[in-house]
Structure 1
Amino acid sequence: MVQIKIGSKIIDGNRPAYIIAEIGINHNGELGVAKSLIDLAVLAGCDAVKFQKRTPDICVPEDQKQKMRETPWGYISYLEYRYHVEFGEEEYLEINRYCKEKGIDWLASCWDIPSVDFIGRFNPVAYKVPSACLTDNTLLEHINKTGRPVILSTGMSTMEEIEHAVSLIDHNRLIITHTTSTYPCPARELNLLMIRTLMERFSCPVGYSGHETGLQTTIAAVALGASLVERHITLDRAMWGSDQAASVEPGGLIRLVRDIRVIEQAMGDGVKRVFESEIPIREKLRCK
């Protein structure tokens, strides 16, 4: 399997999983909330936090732009709402500084070419291609030209679409993540065995991006071989926002990272051996 370096970590299926806490837009446009979520990710022992970056005028469909909705900022158009939850240069300068101070990597899902170029100014450790953009050939080619590692999410995609997207990205810098794009996702639709299917089909590392409630299925993804794990995080699932319900709260994130690391230790290497701790028991109990 190809080795991919993100920040100071090597991802190749034989090392501890790279754990990404996705902040996304759960900060609701508030830098203070974003910093609290970064603090949570650091406390839990995550390797990185991830944001989402869009240019609303490009990403919001024309027929959606003027639709009105209730928001924390009043009854406003969907386009106005999208601008309220977007961070600009001032916020990302502070995010970049704060993450460096805290010793945690950060990256972003970029939904359009101007967003790729904007995030590139901060030298991110990687780019994430959201599932919604997997069929955007122009975007994939533009991200590939940056020369940075690429994490490709595969929700709501056919295998043929995945294969085509993979063909547009340098395999020496690519990590594929299995996901189902339902928020929150019921267990019966997680299809975790796709992790193994993707590992058999492609030579690059395969990870898992989960949108389920609960923790056990994400831990199972690591046991199945996921070399990268991503979950949305929140300070409180009752907060306003479309992604909050499928996010992990502080106590859950701490348990999730802890349990993933325990599972990784327990997996071993598959080589049968007699451990030193077994020898006294063997001598006492083994039939002669």
Structure 2
Amino acid sequence: MSTFIIAEAGVNHNGDRHLAKQLIDIAADAGADAVKFQTFQADRVVSRHAPKAEYQTQTTDKTESQLDMVRKLELSISDHEVLINHAQTRGIQFLSTPFDLPSLQLLTQQFGLKTIKIPSGEITNAPFLLEISQSAQNIILSTGMSTLAEVEAALGVLAFGFISPMDKRPQRGGFEQAFASEAGQQQLRDRVTLLHCTTEYPAPFAEVNLRAMDTLASAFGLPVGYSDHTPGIHISLAAVARGAKIIEKHFTSDRTLPGPDHQASLEPHELNQLVQQIHEIEQSLGDGIKRPTASEWKNRDIARKSLVAAQVIALGEVFTEENLTCKRPGIGCSPFSYWQTLGHIAAKPYPIDEPLDV
């Protein structure tokens, strides 16, 4: 199964529809499977008192509030329509992360998106998780900043939404029961992918903890991928080699553009490399059966060795450690026969380097 590659445009369009279309083109040209944006109404998501994250103060105006910054990054309904149509034209799946209920409804009801990506910051937003579970066919859940217990609690809400009637009153005990039920577990297996993530921009390599991907897969039995915020592409490649089913990576048209996420994003040529090298890794993983490949068969005789005469051996001479050795090519008697050949009598003369035929 191929790794599903999400090129995360996020808010790197800077509120400019034309730049957003350019990002779709970059993702499509690179061969990504999906391009993902963010859908939100700033006043529903960020309070007037919310501070910026440390990395945002370093990449944007320090005197500007988080709310003012986010307002400039909204995409309108008409923007969404244009971008979804453009993605369809370019043959790439359009995804977006909603951050509020009207945005979720816009994506799932008006535009018919089947897959919803839940960001790490919403993993404890139980009412929103429930709405998503009742609206989306498939869910990708990022788990940055989370403990295993918090991931389980979020999955309980999703399971409850999957299997319960819409009018059933949500409660913590019901979430736990839904998570523990076979019906809930089956729905989770069919519809949810978890993404390991380190929520920092850029994420320090020492805090990546890729082995947590294995922990998530073992704990929940769900497909697991990786949302990568580290510099470069090599950690994403390592995640693919460890079995990531999805890779999500931020990209931009130009890392020097103003805005909160550009500096921690790939540029177009790097996105191209990421997609190409992921596919090369997929090819290299193989089926796990240890056997000579088609290319190796033609090299076996050249690279392996045979028993040969280390010196001239006369007819009737005894084979000894002094007159036998192992040299290429491997077209004669196997070196595994060395010990059983010692002490035998040569049935014919052998010049130096001639393979034995005993």
Under a length normalisation based on structure 1, what TM-score does the superposition of the two structures give? 0.89
Quote how far apart the aligned CAs of 1:57 are.
Answer: 1.5
Which residue pairs with 1:227 in the alignment?
245
How far, CA to CA, are the matches of 2:59 and 2:286 in structure 1?
A: 49
> Within 2, Cα distance between the matches of 1:43 and 1:265?
21
How do 1:194-213 residues align onto structure 2 when only pairs under 5 Å count? 194-213=212-231
2:130 to 141, 145, 156: 141
Aligned counterparts, 1:46-125, within 5 A: 46-64=32-50, 78-120=66-108, 121-125=110-114
Number of equivalences: 271
1:164 corresponding residue in structure 2? 153
| Residue in 1 that maps onto 2:271 | 253
- Separation in 1, partners of 2:241, 2:49: 43
One-letter amino acid of the structure 2 residue matched with residue 122 of structure 1:
F
Task: Measure how far apart 1:125 and its partner are.
Answer: 3.8
Mapped contact 1:70–1:76 kept (Cα < 8 A): no
Is the alpha carbon distance of 1:77 and 1:183 closer, same or farther for their aligned partners in structure 2, counting shifts above 3 Å?
A: closer
CA 1:72–1:242 in structure 2 vs 1: closer, same or farther (change >3 Å)? closer
2 CA distance for matches of 1:70 and 1:263?
35
Answer whether contact 2:213 2:224 (CA < 8 A) is retained: yes
2:119 is the counterpart of 1:130? yes
Which of 202, 206, 209 is matched with 1:184 structurally? 202
Shift of 1:78: 4.2
Identity percentage of aligned residues: 39
* Unmatched segments (≥5 aa) in structure 1: 1-14
Give the 3 Å change call, closer, same or farther, for CA 242–80 of structure 1 in structure 2. Answer: closer
Distance change (3 Å), C-alpha of 1:71 and 1:180: closer
State the distance in 1 between where 2:295 and 2:4 align.
31
Q: What's the CA shift string for 1:28-75, capped at 9, x where partnerless? A: 00011111111010111000001111221121124139xxx99999x7
Deviations 1:155-214 (A, max 9, x none): 011111011111222402101000000000111111111111111112221010001111
The answer to whether the aligner puts 1:239 opposite 2:238 as a matched pair is: no
Displacement of 1:82: 2.1
- Stretches of structure 2 that go unaligned for 5 or more consecutive residues are 52-56, 159-186, 306-333, 335-358
In structure 1, how many angstroms separate the alpha carbons of the residues matched to 2:126 and 2:65? 29
Q: Distance in 2 between matches of 1:198 and 1:59?
A: 28
What does residue 23 of structure 1 align with? Answer: 9
1:124 and 1:22 map into 2 onto residues whose CA distance is 16
Using the TM superposition, give the Cα deviation of residue 80 of structure 1 relative to its aligned residue in structure 2, in angstroms: 3.8
Distance across 1 between alignment mates of 2:303 and 2:42 = 69
Is the Cα–Cα contact under 8 Å of residues 60 and 259 in structure 2 kept in the other structure?
A: no
Structure with higher Rg: it is 2
Cα distance in 2, alignment partners of residues 280 and 64 from structure 1: 66
- 1:76 offset after TM fit, Å? 6.0
What SS does structure 1 have at the residue aligned with 2:50? helix
- Alignment deviations for residues 111-131 of structure 1 (CA, whole Å, 9 cap, x no partner): 111110111111124101110
Contact persistence 1:126–1:149 (CA under 8 A): yes
Output the CA distance in 2 between the equivalents of 1:268 and 1:215: 22
State the alpha-carbon separation in 2 of the partners of residues 88 and 71 from structure 1.
24
Cα gap change, 1:273/1:229 in structure 2, threshold over 3 Å: closer, same or farther?
Answer: same
Q: Report which structure shows greater RCO (CA 8 Å, sep ≥6).
A: 1
Q: Tell me, yes or no, if structure 1 residue 37 matches structure 2 residue 28.
A: no
After alignment, is 121-130 or 230-239 more displaced? 121-130
Query: Which of 233, 236, 247 lines up with 1:218 in the alignment?
Result: 236
2-structure distance, mates of 1:164, 1:71: 34
Report the TM-score when normalising by structure 2. Answer: 0.72
Quick check: 173-182 or 119-128, which moved more?
119-128
Change over 3 Å in CA distance of 1:84–1:286 after alignment to 2: same
Letter in 2 for 1:86: E
